Structure 1
């Protein structure tokens, strides 16, 4: 029996263009990031690096990039947040049939941008019983410890949870831990179709 619905944020609720930053970086003649910067990105998602530090890391590596250029490029991944998805979530919250949990790999720059540009962000956040952002938690998907943290904190069994995420690597780890999963494909699926797409669980 499903007791908890655990949602990713990007490409589940807010639409993303995951290639946008690479496209923006090409404007600065940057075609590939060194592995050291990829590692810093992962640290930033876990809150181990500050927003100023990640900006400085990029600008040290690429001196022709100004601070505002970095932030604009970084946030270019974020697109629109269709309000009908908020309404779907609000209905779930009102019905109170499931524990609603957000579990997102994100960072301070992205959340600040969303807070400034999504007028109903606080309404969205208030729908959840728990709201976990990787940079606040100090952990990121697909590390098993972040899933175990959810289970321990909320006294849940993996078989009682449905985890919805657009990244295959994340759902594969959750599956190995015993979670039910939906690896949502954003180009052809929508979270509002949850109860028809995964009807065998409900």
Structure 2
């Protein structure tokens, strides 16, 4: 089989930092994010997997009498994120010599609607947590991916080390996306070396 490069969306193909959302939440609640971080993180996979909606998520994190804008995640994503066109165009250019590209990303149903459909038309595989009802770094999503593509043929690019560590358990090659490695061309070289 030909090789497949899978990309995360937020923090890789789309410029995004979780800290931006954490700051928006802190500003709206007038409390440090650290005070809600454990409950936030404990319920995030359920939101990514469409097991709960944003209102239910915030009720679990803050209690049912909360005053937060229940659409703060998608609103912040729309306001703060931007498309990394340089890397997106590079990703699309990899579809040569029979190679394929795909997406493996955790998205809430609401944030997935913020991404223009045409943006990812050229991608051969689309593995979205909200559609699959599975999320990174849980093993099930990697098992699903490996059921569609042989793991030895996959290079996975993500901005979170825990997601890459889980992928390595399934014998996927991985690259940690960092802004500095991107700007210096290191990421490009690693991908091109994998495709040789």
Q: TM-score higher than 0.5 here? A: yes
CA shift, 1:192, in A, is 7.3
Unaligned runs of 5+ in 1: 116-120
Question: How many angstroms apart in 1 are the aligned matches of 2:4 and 2:74?
Answer: 36
Alignment check: 8 A CA contact 2:2 2:98 kept: no
1:163 and 2:122 equivalent? no
- Detail structure 1 runs of 4+ shifted over 6 Å in the superposition: none
Question: How many angstroms apart in 2 are the aligned matches of 1:22 and 1:15?
Answer: 16
Counterpart for residue 57 of structure 2: 54
Counterpart for residue 85 of structure 2: 83
Alignment check: 8 A CA contact 2:39 2:61 kept: no
1:72-111 matches, cutoff 5 A: 75=77, 78-93=80-95, 95=96, 97-111=98-112
CA shift, 1:66, in A, is 4.0
State which of 127, 131, 141 in structure 1 corresponds to 2:126. Answer: 131
Unaligned runs of 5+ in 2: none
Q: With structure 2 as the length reference, what TM-score do the two structures score?
A: 0.81
Counterpart for residue 118 of structure 1: none
Q: Indicate the larger mover: 128-137 or 23-32.
A: 23-32
User: 1:43–1:77: structure 2 CA closer, same or farther, 3 Å change rule?
Assistant: farther
User: 1:162–1:184: structure 2 CA closer, same or farther, 3 Å change rule?
Assistant: same
Q: With structure 1 as the length reference, what TM-score do the two structures score?
A: 0.79
Q: Tell me the matched-pair count.
A: 192
Provide the aligned C-alpha RMSD in A: 2.8
**SS in structure 2 of the partner of residue 189 of structure 1:** helix
CA shift, 1:44, in A, is 0.3
CA shift, 1:16, in A, is 0.8
CA deviations 1:77-124 (Å, max 9, x no partner) are 84211333332233234x363121200011122222x23xxxxx3232
